[in-house]
Amino acid sequence: MIPVSPELSARLVQLSGSRSSGPVFLSRNGGALSCRQLNTIVTEAGRRADVVNPNPKRSGITCHLFRHSFARLWKDRGGDIEALARILGHASVKTTWDLYGTQSLDDVRRHYRRVLERF
């Protein structure tokens, strides 16, 4: 289950037309899009929107990057780790905690500066 806004839900219903099951996004031949096709679409959309991979060692924009970015933003804004585990579909909260429970280097730097400003 993926929580979505009412507006997005309405748009997805429009996209699916009269279909009640199966993939939401169809390829040109009417089948499900492959992972490669999805990543190609996301990469191109990211390029057009000037999205930059925050990892300097990587340049690609992928669906997984957006998933990871969502999880980091959720955590950074105080979202509950158990709720995040359910949203991401992890079988165990431990998996979510291992991936997103620790602070990134940028988080540590920001926290360090914030603490030092008090002195």
Mean pLDDT (the chain, rounded)? 87
Contact partners, residue 46, CB within 8 Å, separation at least 6: 61
The pLDDT assigned to 10 comes to 92
pLDDT higher than threshold 70 for residue 1:
no
Q: Is the pTM of this model over 0.75?
A: no
Under the phi-then-psi rule, with left for phi > 0, alpha for psi from -120 to 50, and beta for the rest, what region is 78? left
What is the CB neighbour count within 10 angstroms for residue 100? Answer: 21
pLDDT higher than threshold 70 for residue 78:
yes
pLDDT higher than threshold 90 for residue 64:
no
